[in-house]
Amino acid sequence: MKKSKNPSHSLPAGLIASSLAADPRIVQAKSLLHEAMNEYRKQITAIRPPLGTLKQGYEEMLASFAKYRGAKLWFPYIGSGMGNGPFVELADGSIKYDFICGIGSHYWGHNHPDFLDTSIDTALSDTVMQGHLQQNIDSVDLYSQLTQATHFPHCFLTTSGAMANENALKIAFQKKFPAKRILAFERCFVGRTLAISQITDKPAFREGLPATLLVDYIPYFDPSRPEESTALAVKTLKKHLSRYPNDYAVMCFELVQGEGGFYSATKDFFESIMTILKDNDIAIFADEVQSFARTPELFAFQYFGLDEYIDIASIGKVSQVCATLFTEQYKPRQGLLSQTFTASTSAIKAFTVILNKLLCEGFFGPEGKIAKVHHYFANQLENLSQKHPDLIRGPYGVGSMIAFTPYDGETQKVTQFIHRLFDAGVISFIAGSNPSRVRFLVPVDAIDHNDIDNVINIIEKTLIEKL
């Protein structure tokens, strides 16, 4: 993986903006705000139950919110806006371990001091949103860092992972016109828009929607039958190609299936499929909205050693601003990609900080932070499964994507368990079906072994409670 250099375009001397940033009043204001925030962060160092005096008001707030949005929240979670690393304070006064982080968006945990600075810088900036006609120096810095860290020379920012995936498909379809079909893995999750809900292998997500894309599925890797499952995937792919010759534009690869249950595969499995796709001139698209920055390399395709095969990739969640990256061969014609908003200035500044820290502060490699957190957490879950073999199976996943199956994996029981775990002070989420799993997307840089031990103890206590 190529290392990104520090931004080289940030506020050159002579600009009024650079003078404002260096103004002693701004510097002093940041210092005072850091001092105040750190003082209050120190009050959040352990879980605690809700405050009785806030209970009624909180329940009324939840009911009002459910009425406004037309459905109740999955968790009774309304944050106060305050936290400290892996801990978050809710508006009922409770403090919980946040081990799902907004389904992976808050990789640094809560109230990280670096984002106080970027938020202030954003408040001083001239625009809330950057876009088609107005891109600031921040965007130039980010494009430079991101492309230097990959084999992609081109990148297009956007406001959501779903839109990053939409743009990836548009690029592939334009390049491969008139091919009109898509290949994807069973159990994949690509998004919920009108188009990509057709690819997501979950019928409930497209109930009542018109068909917009032609999608054919390939069975995913089975670790209990590696050779047989690889052969089956290859056989199925060849069958599709024979049935619809020259009609496939792209195959979408979710290299680590997130919503599907944190399933992964081997390099040999992926290469067996990708080689055939290359032979048939079909674009290879890596959907890394959930896996980006969570494996022991920046991208999952880098972790699996598949760089040479990938034509297009998408990122999101960890990155705050989302993006579609593509090779020179897949550079789209003028007019295909354009958005009024590509991202907010705050998201662009935040991702620039995040990316630089990821690349320069020891997150990757076999001895990096991600690998070490995974090893310790997975080992503790393995010990728990040996202690209670009838209550827990696992662990599963890669890097900071960690999951286990409680009980028999029946969806209703797993959902109930996750809500009981929430009440006990640990926030997780569900993934997969048949079996369903408890999923964690942990804030790697915000936790230590003590936090993991505390969460494991809460999991064990919650597991042995009667349903």
CATH of the domain at 66: 3.90.1150.10
In-domain check, residue 399: yes
pLDDT higher than threshold 70 for residue 5 = no
Q: Which residue type does 141 have?
A: D
Last residue of a domain, one of 303, 338, 373: 338
Indicate if 208 and 254 belong to the same structural domain.
Answer: yes
Indicate if 105 and 198 belong to the same structural domain.
Answer: no
Q: What pLDDT digit, counting tens, does each position of 171-210 carry?
A: 999 999 999 999 999 999 999 999 999 999 999 999 999 9
The whole-chain average pLDDT of the chain stands at 95
If one counts every other C-beta atom within 10 angstroms of the C-beta of residue 232, the result is 16
Indicate if 459 and 408 belong to the same structural domain.
Answer: yes
Q: Domain residues for 323?
A: 160-338
Q: What is the pTM of this model?
A: 0.95
The predicted pLDDT at position 79 comes to 98
pLDDT higher than threshold 70 for residue 387 = yes
Q: What pLDDT digit, counting tens, does each position of 337-349 carry?
A: 999 999 999 999 9
Last residue of a domain, one of 338, 357, 379: 338
In-domain check, residue 343: no
Identify the band that residue 11 occupies on the pLDDT scale cut at 50, 70 and 90: confident
In-domain check, residue 123: no
In-domain check, residue 4: no
In-domain check, residue 55: yes
The average pLDDT across 2-10 equals 50
Indicate if 302 and 192 belong to the same structural domain.
Answer: yes
Last residue of a domain, one of 272, 303, 338: 338
pLDDT higher than threshold 60 for residue 467 = no
The predicted pLDDT at position 194 comes to 94
Indicate if 179 and 278 belong to the same structural domain.
Answer: yes
Indicate if 381 and 275 belong to the same structural domain.
Answer: no
Q: What percent of the chain has pLDDT over 70?
A: 97
pLDDT higher than threshold 60 for residue 386 = yes
The predicted pLDDT at position 394 comes to 94
Indicate if 252 and 181 belong to the same structural domain.
Answer: yes
The predicted pLDDT at position 216 comes to 98
In-domain check, residue 199: yes
pLDDT higher than threshold 90 for residue 9 = no
The predicted pLDDT at position 337 comes to 96
Identify the band that residue 12 occupies on the pLDDT scale cut at 50, 70 and 90: confident
Indicate if 281 and 403 belong to the same structural domain.
Answer: no
Indicate if 297 and 427 belong to the same structural domain.
Answer: no
Indicate if 315 and 219 belong to the same structural domain.
Answer: yes
Indicate if 180 and 298 belong to the same structural domain.
Answer: yes
Q: What percent of the chain has pLDDT over 90?
A: 96
Number of domains in the chain: 2
Exposure string of 174-202, with b = 16+ CB inside 10 Å and e = fewer, is ebbeebebbbbbebbbbbebebbbbbbbe
Q: What pLDDT digit, counting tens, does each position of 120-177 carry?
A: 999 999 999 999 899 999 999 999 999 999 999 999 999 999 999 999 999 999 999 9
